[in-house]
Structure 1
């Protein structure tokens, strides 16, 4: 993938980071974004592994089905940086990666990470628990948090109320090309999405008749809640000629 500016990289991963936090992730968004910058150098590769998680001996799960890539890496041995090759997990999206990482961090050795009350303490806990071999890992994370003002995302990761007209819905990610565009709301087998936010991200022209959303001029069935028009994801995708699949294990909408 082409090199992104640092702010482009942050903007690309932030929706997934915020969503998994809202779903109960133990990692502060500021720490997770800093970690993704540090681990990748600001590049989102096709295998969507933003945290250096190796294949290891863990079983497949709802978010990782056993796919892997072999890549060069650096390890710290006796305080020396040593070049090596390793098999890393590969994922359908960065959302899948973050959810698998949360499973990884549920191990007893990472109790300090889960219990940390501040981003700084969590960064230190990641190092002391052995997540990375770099002796400066915590300091590097903290420096990135400060440099890019990443704590601005921590409040956004707090649970948000559902749209009042979509009560009883479940929050689900809407994913295209490995990235979360926005959360959708699954109710009675139908996923409703914020039309303007997702439609414009997909290059559509979004309008409003006074009662219904239009996508490239076509009226769609609409739920209006808190001044936002929600449409069915399959209706919007049909207008744009985009395929839609449902990842039942991860409970995610995948746009082709």
Structure 2
């Protein structure tokens, strides 16, 4: 059973530090599962967090929600459950950055371009909200994504530009767009 099912939507927001451990999940498998495992309870939490990021940083909530789904397997990945890291953000030079609270080592796969097993240090967050805020901060302040910012009014164009630097998967943008279409995540971009 997933943590948000057990705690309930409101309880999960208040109890974000007390998440149970989950089985280790291969990141590629997480991304494949995200394409089909619709979870309305996860979306009930991720949608408002994505809208808050849109309000604070001016980037499409639909993209933020879809990337969190793809990166965390609807919130079920070990990294999301144990470290509340919903975007797979790594620590840079063993520093967590201004929002994360620490770093934690996990086995992963690095592709440069051949894929091989590796160990990386991933950011640890106190809450889902902090993970989403760090996403917005990183996308809007990093020189790697500056080229995408002129496209914020068009979610598909925006993720297409972000994906050029965000992921090594050549189909990454298409996967995010497919999630936005299949689950009508564009509705998150409309005013409430």
Q: Give TM-score, length-normalised by structure 2.
A: 0.70
Write the deviation string for residues 40-79 of structure 1: whole angstroms up to 9, x where unpaired: 11124131111111001385555223x112123333332x
Please say if residues 47 and 91 of structure 1, whose CA atoms lie closer than 8 Å, have aligned partners that are also in contact.
yes
Structure with more of its chain in strand, by fraction: 1
Please say if residues 96 and 123 of structure 2, whose CA atoms lie closer than 8 Å, have aligned partners that are also in contact.
no
Q: How much has 1:81 moved relative to structure 2?
A: 4.6
Write the mapping of 1:187-198 to structure 2, written as runs, cut at 5 A.
none
Residue 88 of structure 1 corresponds to 122
Q: Which has the higher contact order (CA 8 A, sep 6+)?
A: 2
* Structure index of larger Rg: 1
Residue 57 of structure 1 corresponds to 93
Please say if residues 75 and 134 of structure 1, whose CA atoms lie closer than 8 Å, have aligned partners that are also in contact.
no
Unaligned stretches of 5+ residues in structure 1: 159-256
Please say if residues 75 and 133 of structure 1, whose CA atoms lie closer than 8 Å, have aligned partners that are also in contact.
no
Q: Give TM-score, length-normalised by structure 1.
A: 0.54
RMSD, aligned α-carbons: 2.3
Structure with more of its chain in helix, by fraction: 2
1:127 aligns with 2:159: no
Of 174, 184, 188, 1:149 maps to 184
Runs of 4 or more consecutive aligned structure 1 residues displaced over 4 Å after TM superposition:
58-62
Residue 17 of structure 1 corresponds to 50
Residue 142 of structure 2 corresponds to 107
CA gap of 1:41–1:60, structure 2 versus 1, over 3 A, is: closer
Please say if residues 94 and 121 of structure 2, whose CA atoms lie closer than 8 Å, have aligned partners that are also in contact.
no
Unaligned stretches of 5+ residues in structure 2: 6-37
Please say if residues 65 and 185 of structure 2, whose CA atoms lie closer than 8 Å, have aligned partners that are also in contact.
yes
Please say if residues 107 and 117 of structure 2, whose CA atoms lie closer than 8 Å, have aligned partners that are also in contact.
yes
Write the mapping of 1:216-227 to structure 2, written as runs, cut at 5 A.
none
Write the mapping of 1:169-248 to structure 2, written as runs, cut at 5 A.
none
